[in-house]
Structure 1
Amino acid sequence: MKKEILSGNEAIARGAFEAGVKVASAYPGTPSTEILENIIRYPDINSSWAPNEKVALEVAIGASFGGGRAIACMKHVGVNVAADPLFTLSYTGVGGGLLLVVADDPEMHSSQNEQDSRNYARFAKVPMLEPADSSECKEFTRLAFDLSEQFDTPVMLRSCTRISHGKSIVELAEPVSGLSEPKLVKNPAKLVMLPGNARVRHPLVEERVVKLGEHGDSWEINRVEYRSNEIGIIAAGVTYQYVREALPEASTLKLGMVYPLPKERIRDFAGKVKTVYVVEELDPFIEDQVKAMGISVIGKEIIPMCGELSPWRIRKAFADAGIINIPEYQAIQTEPIPSRPPNMCPGCPHRGLFYMLNRLNAYVTGDIGCYTLGFMPPLNAMDTCVCMGASISNASGIVRVLSPEERHRVVAVIGDSTFLHTGINSLMEMAWNQSPATVVILDNRITAMTGRQENPASGFTLSGEPAPEVNIPDLCRALGIRNLKVIDPYDLEATFNTLKEEMDRDEPSVIVTNRPCCLIKGDDRFQAGEVLYVDQDACTGCRACLRIGCPAIEWQPAPDGKKGKAYIDPLLCTGCTVCQQLCKFDAIRGGK
């Protein structure tokens, strides 16, 4: 069979193809984004971005009810959005097999929290598989659909940043054959969750959990590897790989299905080793369940609760507990690496907007997107950030407790994709209840933070086909917003004046910025200007241009110890002219 080196996300996409999936839906979110971007390579699968994760799962549910196999993909915080349909789907069961892929993000490489999605599997009472490498990503994806149809249940598959983005060898196979053709089958007693029907379905869910646990006792994806009878470790997913590297002599029970647990297999394993340890990232999910079985195990007493594990962290944890001996750790001596804080791209249309919000001393309720970097110095122009869509709702609540003088400072900032994700309802609430706050919608025409994926306002589908564009200003007016302005955020004076005017209002107002992401190719609204340069004779070294934090602007100390001067890197400059507008000495030249 052909073999390829694939990332976990690529392998999940391949598994969906081999499993005969008909429909795939997702909302982009690191580290899960590339799953759908690879599924689109398989034309037999109808693949599309959804406005949010709830809609993505509901699209997959509809396809499943129609008899087709379906997959929905999202990051861990996306499951919060999709939880409503997920919990009821556990009661209805499925038609065609249905897989919900969730990618957790221990260490919060690109997330606002470290939630452990395994808890959702237990809460919703659906099985969860956890692959340990790309090969298992593909195989477990295929197995998930068989499991889903065998037990009439949605199945969750948990990845994490290291599994999603790490690469390993995957053996490819042909798609399954002999699947039933999708068709409509009426079964309202099963699929209409009125209380009377739901009461009948609930006992079936409880019976299913028991049967799934019994199935796990003999399922080969839950395997025991005996080595030492002194140390036995229960692990799953990427932590299994860490354990094998950190403690190669330890016996392991590698779990492929982390909920429900294979209790008899765990009891048998615990009876054959002297001490049982549970090594898992984030919550003591497995540990607590094993302890509830009456089995003595050691877990979070020595393994950190927070952050991402690694072979070294595991080995050190066992050494610090006196379980093993390791040589004193010798750090590799290297030259100090200069800090490189996250920053908006050169030419980013958000930069000037945040600079002006800072000047106006606005209290900015922020949201999830590239623009969250407005929090960073030197812009220092974001004061809250909770979750997608919360900026508008937060602003609506804050102004209700403030004096008229204070509430005029409150400005909510949200991106176009995030506004369409969960901001629409929030703006509807603000308009409905006439909360006197200003909302700035940063319409950069793309879902920029996760890699420039299309959204309902971008004019294209996942496959690049032209599509209707949501007109954001018209949508805001339809929600009841009477005061709406569209501005060019590269025009600093107009941006400042419009912000001030709208912040002074005693009723809701919306400002829409209309410059696209500077990384989008082919958008005629982003006309990159002439590359700018600094006239060294005119530059006085006032540092005003540094206040916007553009990566294209460097500071060059004078060799004679006198005041330094600015320099613009021509390889980075996009000619947006924001810095040029800040220079009072006409030292920045070029541009349109």
Structure 2
Amino acid sequence: FNSVTMADGAEIGVIASGVGYQYAREALGDGANFLKIGFSWPLPRRRIREFASKVKTLWVVEENDPFIETEIRAMGISCFGKDVLPVVDELTPAIVARAVLGKEPAPGREGEVPPPNRPPLLCPGCPHRGLFFPLSKKKDVIVTGDIGCYGLGSMPPLNVGETTICMGAGFSAAIGFEKANEKAGRNRKVFGILGDSTFFHSGITGLIDAVVNKSRSVFVIMDNRITAMTGQQENPGSGRTLSGEETVALDIPKICGACGVKDDNIHVVDPYDLKASAEAVDRAWAAEETSVIVTTRPCALLKNVQKERAGMKCFVDEERCVLCGACLKLGCPAISKRDGRIVIDQEACNGCGLCVQVCPKSAVGKKGES
């Protein structure tokens, strides 16, 4: 996993990992020696010392915090890194070249076709979309988000979410926003949103605070049965250990009840059912006590889900379609308008059926459902 590339006559040495290595390699080319670290912990200390002894100037190129650099300095090895390179934002070959060489890099090859715009969106069939869509119609709400796929709900056209700070802040920030609203005399309902894994990790304490402090906010737990954004790791609600063994699956609604939320204020819905989701949003919005909405649908990218839904596709009946654009407001990447007509990409669609439910002219159908 760890490899060394030495260049004839080069006095500069670069230690890098991941994308930092790619940027440095593109910027410096054969003008530097490289130690590419593919297995970063434990660090290959002996190889690092050997590499450092063969170069005149040593650089550590990594994005954000100086993790590798700090360890190398702790080994007593002198190097350059975050004393020159930025500690925030993404690196680029140009930034690396300016820092190490003091000049701009040679221009790269320009493609004949410019890359298309690819805004970050929820995946086709993502169950989070089913709750975000009715919530997006509420214009007098504040939505505090969290770290997870559901953070993408803040992107157009859904535009659901004002904050994304840290794990658990979807709930804790909601409590603070509500108290600030009360102080300022504003009557705006606050919805706090996080996922199932984040709820187990750092959301339960926020919910307890909400109940104890008599919060009127709505706390949404998007249960997609997995830790989706960071690689589909199991969590305490998925029913399996990290090694894949079957185990107890914790019951989120019961945990909410144990935290003090009244049964009448706990709403469990299938987010693929837009009517039920909208009704849950309305009931929670009108409540004068702490309310919880739990959406229950597994992530659309799980292998078993993809297998079950392999033949399910939605399609547009062009004779009925009036190009009203209602389906486009879902923000589904599988739906687009091309050459004056609405098109559903059959490769991307997995037949969740949300577009069928929003079409006012019954111009969208669904096939392959058992």
Query: Partner of 2:159 in structure 1?
Result: 380
Match of residue 287, structure 2, among 486, 499, 505: 505
Deviation at 1:316, TM superposition (A): 4.1
| AA matched with 1:366 | G
Indicate the structure (1 or 2) with the bigger Cα radius of gyration.
Answer: 1
**Residue 412 (1) aligns with residue 192 (2):** yes
**Residue 589 (1) aligns with residue 365 (2):** yes
Deviation at 1:506, TM superposition (A): 2.1
Separation in 2 of the partners of 1:257 and 1:444? 31
The question of whether the paired residues in 1 share the 8 Å contact of 2:145 and 2:194 is answered with yes
- SS of equivalent to 1:452: coil
Alignment of structure 1 residues 135-214 onto 2, 5 Å: 135=2
Aligned length, in residue pairs:
346
Separation in 1 of the partners of 2:160 and 2:207? 21
The question of whether the paired residues in 1 share the 8 Å contact of 2:122 and 2:149 is answered with yes
Query: Partner of 1:60 in structure 2?
Result: none
Query: Partner of 2:216 in structure 1?
Result: 436
Change (3 A) 1:519 1:243: closer
Change (3 A) 1:568 1:235: closer
Query: Partner of 2:177 in structure 1?
Result: 398
TM-score (norm 1): 0.51
Separation in 2 of the partners of 1:536 and 1:472? 43
**Residue 455 (1) aligns with residue 322 (2):** no
Deviation at 1:478, TM superposition (A): 0.3
**Residue 572 (1) aligns with residue 348 (2):** yes
The question of whether the paired residues in 2 share the 8 Å contact of 1:347 and 1:573 is answered with yes
The question of whether the paired residues in 2 share the 8 Å contact of 1:395 and 1:412 is answered with yes
Separation in 2 of the partners of 1:589 and 1:250? 58
Query: Partner of 1:352 in structure 2?
Result: 130
The question of whether the paired residues in 1 share the 8 Å contact of 2:144 and 2:173 is answered with yes
**Residue 495 (1) aligns with residue 277 (2):** yes
Separation in 2 of the partners of 1:258 and 1:580? 51
- SS of equivalent to 2:268: strand
Separation in 1 of the partners of 2:108 and 2:329? 41
Separation in 1 of the partners of 2:25 and 2:128? 46
Query: Partner of 1:5 in structure 2?
Result: none
| AA matched with 1:369 | G
Deviation at 1:408, TM superposition (A): 4.3
Query: Partner of 1:484 in structure 2?
Result: 266
Alignment of structure 1 residues 314-393 onto 2, 5 Å: 314-319=96-101, 321=102, 328-361=106-139, 362-393=141-172
| AA matched with 1:533 | F
Structure 2 segments unaligned to the other structure (5+ residues):
none
The question of whether the paired residues in 1 share the 8 Å contact of 2:219 and 2:292 is answered with yes
Alignment of structure 1 residues 1-400 onto 2, 5 Å: 134-135=1-2, 236-238=15-17, 246=28, 278-281=59-62, 282=64, 303-309=85-91, 313-319=95-101, 321=102, 328-361=106-139, 362-400=141-179
The question of whether the paired residues in 2 share the 8 Å contact of 1:344 and 1:370 is answered with yes
Separation in 2 of the partners of 1:567 and 1:253? 48
- SS of equivalent to 1:589: strand
| AA matched with 1:518 | A
Structure 1 segments unaligned to the other structure (5+ residues):
1-133, 137-167, 170-224, 558-563
Deviation at 1:467, TM superposition (A): 1.0
Q: Output the aligned Cα RMSD.
A: 4.0
Query: Partner of 1:538 in structure 2?
Result: 320
| AA matched with 1:517 | C
TM-score (norm 2): 0.78
Separation in 2 of the partners of 1:338 and 1:301? 36
- SS of equivalent to 1:439: strand
Which stretch shifts more, 237-246 or 397-406? Answer: 237-246
Q: What are the Cα deviations for residues 278-306 of structure 1, in whole angstroms up to 9, with x where unaligned?
A: 5543467869x98xx9x9x8766754444
Change (3 A) 1:257 1:237: farther
The question of whether the paired residues in 2 share the 8 Å contact of 1:408 and 1:505 is answered with no
- SS of equivalent to 1:566: strand
